[in-house]
Each structure stands twice: as C-alpha cells, then as structure tokens.
Homo-oligomer: A and B are copies of this chain.
Amino acid sequence: MSNEQVAAPTNKRRISQRGIATRERILEAANRLMLVRGVNATTLDDIREASQTSKSQLYHHFADKQELVRALVTYRGTLVLQRERAGLERLRSFSGLVRWRNALVQANSLNNGKYGCGLGSMALELSDQDEQARSSLSETFAAWEKLISDGLHRMRDSGLLRQDADPEKLATGLMAALQGGYLLANAAHNVSPMEVALDMALEHIQSFLVEPSGEPTR
C-alpha cells in the first residue's frame, strides 16, 4: 500500500468561498422550510429548489438527508444561542427578564403563535429517531438554560435574589414554561398561552426577589 495517502488524508477537501456560500444557502433554505413544514415533511427537492442549487450540491456538502438534518440542528442551535446570548448576557435585573420575555412574545405573535420554537419542534420530532440529533439538541437546551441561570446567579450575587433561590431550577422551569408555551400557542394558533406560561415562570422567579417591587404575589 502507498503511504503517501496517509500524509495527504483524503477526507480533508479543499473548500472555496463559493462552496461555503452554497452550503450556507442550503442550510438557510432547509432551516426556513423545515421550520414551517417540519423535518420529515420537507423534501430534498423542496430544499434544492428553494436554495437555487442542485442535487449534486446537496450530496456534495452532505452525505445524506440525515446528515443535513444534523447540520441543521447545529445551525439552528448556533443561531438561537447567538440571539439569546445577545439578550441574556447582560441580564442583571428582573426588568431585564421582562424585556426578554416581551421580545420572545412579540416575535411569536407575528406568526399568531404558529411554528413554535425551532429547537423544541425538532426535539419532539427527532428525539425518538436520531440519537445524535437528540443529544445535540439536549446540549443546546442546556447551554440556553445556562445563559439564563448565569443571569440569575448574577442577580443572586448582587443581592437581588434571595440566597435560597436555585438559579438552575428556576432556569429549567422558565425554559419548560417557554417550550410549553410555544407548544400550546402553536396548537391554538394564538400567542396568549405562551404569555400566561411565561408570566407564571416570571412570577415564580419574582417570588424569590429580596425586595419585591410592590406587593410580592398579589
């Protein structure tokens, strides 16, 4: 056997700017279509058409549909975490949390509650059929929750939150309220269950504030 192949590994391809752009276009189209129709209901031909590419492009950049879906999981995860980092990394007050809530509600109300959370919908659709996608999504949720719990930690350290507040549990509860809110809003085609759910979680966090603004719970 030739040992030259070891020095120049065949799996590392040269890649051009154009290639990167195409790959990006494919992911962007897949993201858009699969958010609306779901993963399984979106065909590769749909994606090919929407991304202005061809079959050979799809299979040049992704081994098969499953790998494209996995790449999409990463892609969406990156987008969501980017967006959330922007909104949460400076979180230091309860009113900051309220602003964060309002932004999510407003974005969702533009669709009348439709489509839900890009991560949550994939989680339910893929968890039972692609173990790798599931664990990747699970990690993304954990990172998202950490952005929240980090903010709550800052609030606790600065004396805003009581010492017996548990930032991790509060963050998990808030995330569950958010995801459940997305789900109910999507089923109802109406954003209000999401508002109610988020308000419940916020009131729960509020109950751990050291100096309640006004009366704490009534």
Contact = CB atoms under 8 A, between A and B. Distances in A.
B176 A180 contact: yes
Nearest to A39: B40
Most chain B beta-carbon neighbours within 10 Å: one of A121, A176, A186, A197 = A176
B187 A141 contact: yes
Interface in A157-182: 162, 164, 169-170, 172-173, 175-181
B184 A196 contact: no
* This protein's copies in its complex: 2
Contacts of A116: 124, 127
A139 to B, nearest CB: 9
Interface in A43-60: none
Interface residues of A, number: 52
A176 B187 contact: no
Contact of A38 (B40, B177, B196, B204): B40
B128 A115 contact: yes
A115 to B, nearest CB: 6
Most chain B beta-carbon neighbours within 10 Å: one of A177, A179, A196, A217 = A179
Interface string A100-131: 00000000000000111000110111011100
A172 B197 contact: yes
Given A172-B196, A207-B207, A183 B120 contact: yes
Given A37-B129, A115-B128, A173 B187 contact: no
Given A169-B196, A193-B176, A207-B207, A125 B124 contact: yes
Interface of A: 36-38, 40-41, 114-116, 120-121, 123-125, 127-129, 134, 137-138, 141, 162, 164, 169-170, 172-173, 175-181, 183-184, 186-189, 193-194, 196-197, 199-201, 203-204, 207-208, 217-218
